Structure 1
């Protein structure tokens, strides 16, 4: 596997690495990480990323490493753990997850989808949805966020497109979540692609709920509406970035759910260069 990583890296476009900015959502590299987590994390650092968001927690380990091993290896290669996605989080499992996150050095627990069985994905249509009443979903998210706060970490909810679309009663889930959560315990990780995909405006939401969008997922959208590396699509990131103070953004992460014209390693290299050109620091 190490040879495969080296070969993929050799094929990357040449660019000068800036080792002092930018985060990466490791979900982008989930397939490659499964084979050689340490080798891939080293490549991420070499490409110029500064901090990472995990999406590989299982049985108390991060990518097969204990929390302490993971923290120490990230430090060895020059990466900082900042946030971690936990799609299978429950109210009952939260205390254990928080303890492991703290041991690994993370600051944020991110709920990436409606938790506890409320998220649906249709592989035939690739439609994402929420299958429980938003009141139930909100109650569970708030209960998890309460435990996260009590454990000394911060909790974020990450959106897709369906939270920004009106339901049959005309209610928009993200509006309900914002209005019915305590900003001292729960804030939001805005995925800029999915908000745009839903036909909503990120900047309008910064105006609506200033200070609540602590983190951003940054990925572009091509002319077919597909995921694309930052700078290779049509999302106006400069306009969004100009409103970062109002959003409350404290950190951002490149993420690309699927890669079409590049390998995942190539895509994150292109995105890192795109971030710099747009003005991200």
Structure 2
């Protein structure tokens, strides 16, 4: 679990400055439309410290910027809360601000770990997702105990577990998803990659995938190559941009045995549209991927005001990716 803690710590640097006044978030001319880029979502992990400070004001501001839905994270199953908000209260706040939540990230690191018999309460996850009106329960990460020694068997086991969970969730009208990082693109001896194993061993009617565009690009691959290879399997995207000074891939023989902390030194994010990723080209594959829901996400925000950051990303998507 040390790797996972380090990842979460490094992905959560900094506390935001004060909230911007609501009038600063008056939306630009909003192109009408019903596509996933018109109805843009936000992965709330991007502004996790703001949610801790003031969840009500934070969610209100997200809605004022123009986001139509949010992807949740970090439920406390024991207390039944998100950021100290009871689940029913969170649902009411979202409803009051005309925000939907189609998807949530739920910790499945024990459930997907073939060396453990103790698992997360996945039945409770289904109950929570159903109460929030979510269509997807997404596993946000693999077990992170020993990333450099993940084997094909680990991915095969994870796929089997996702299928089992998918069967259970299907009864509640919910589908299971999986969200990638960079290590799923490492090659094994036969040339197979971890994500390929997950896709090959999961049932399309039970398990979908949420492609993080930053991480696949940081692995030295193109999202388009996976949309071509697995059409319809990626109904969710994380739209996240890469700092132009940090574009070197972190997958390959020079990196596959490097410590996680050293790899993270090569990672830097930026607001969507200001970095190295060509989103307009990728957006041409939305139909082929089966895209339903698109989420802006930025793991670390370096601007003094994090609302300004997520608004810049929102404005770019609305201006350049909507048709």
SS in 1 for 2:235: strand
1:94 is displaced (CA, Å) by 1.1
Pair 1:110-2:130 in alignment: no
1:16 is displaced (CA, Å) by 2.8
Q: Which runs of 5+ in 2 are unaligned?
A: 1-14, 32-37, 112-118, 247-267
> In the superposition, relative to structure 1, how do residues 33 and 67 fare at CA in structure 2: closer, same or farther (>3 Å)?
same
Q: Which runs of 5+ in 1 are unaligned?
A: 122-127
Cross-structure match for 1:64 = 84
Residue of structure 2 aligned with 1:224, choices 234, 240, 245: 245
Query: What's the CA shift string for 1:215-274, capped at 9, x where partnerless?
Result: 000011111222111111121101110110000000100000011245322210110111
Matches for 1:240-255 after TM superposition, within 5 Å = 240-255=282-297
Residue of structure 1 aligned with 2:98, choices 78, 86, 90: 78
Equivalent pair of 1:81/1:106 in contact (CA under 8 Å): yes
1:141 is displaced (CA, Å) by 2.4
Counterpart Cα distance in 2 of 1:270 and 1:207: 30
Cross-structure match for 1:119 = 144
SS in 1 for 2:85: coil
Cross-structure match for 1:29 = 47
Equivalent pair of 1:13/1:270 in contact (CA under 8 Å): no
Cross-structure match for 1:134 = 155
Cross-structure match for 1:201 = 222
> In the superposition, relative to structure 1, how do residues 203 and 262 fare at CA in structure 2: closer, same or farther (>3 Å)?
farther
Equivalent pair of 1:12/1:265 in contact (CA under 8 Å): no
Output the aligned Cα RMSD: 2.5
Cross-structure match for 2:176 = 155
> In the superposition, relative to structure 1, how do residues 250 and 176 fare at CA in structure 2: closer, same or farther (>3 Å)?
same
Cross-structure match for 1:44 = 62
Larger CA deviation: 202-211 vs 56-65: 56-65
Larger CA deviation: 180-189 vs 73-82: 73-82
Cross-structure match for 2:167 = 146
Counterpart Cα distance in 2 of 1:262 and 1:272: 17
Cross-structure match for 1:9 = 20
Give the number of the structure whose residues are more often strand, by fraction.
1
> In the superposition, relative to structure 1, how do residues 58 and 262 fare at CA in structure 2: closer, same or farther (>3 Å)?
same
Higher relative contact order (CA 8 A, sep 6+): 2
Query: What's the CA shift string for 1:135-156, capped at 9, x where partnerless?
Result: 2222222222222223321111
Cross-structure match for 1:96 = 124
> In the superposition, relative to structure 1, how do residues 79 and 221 fare at CA in structure 2: closer, same or farther (>3 Å)?
same
> In the superposition, relative to structure 1, how do residues 266 and 138 fare at CA in structure 2: closer, same or farther (>3 Å)?
same
1:88 is displaced (CA, Å) by 4.0
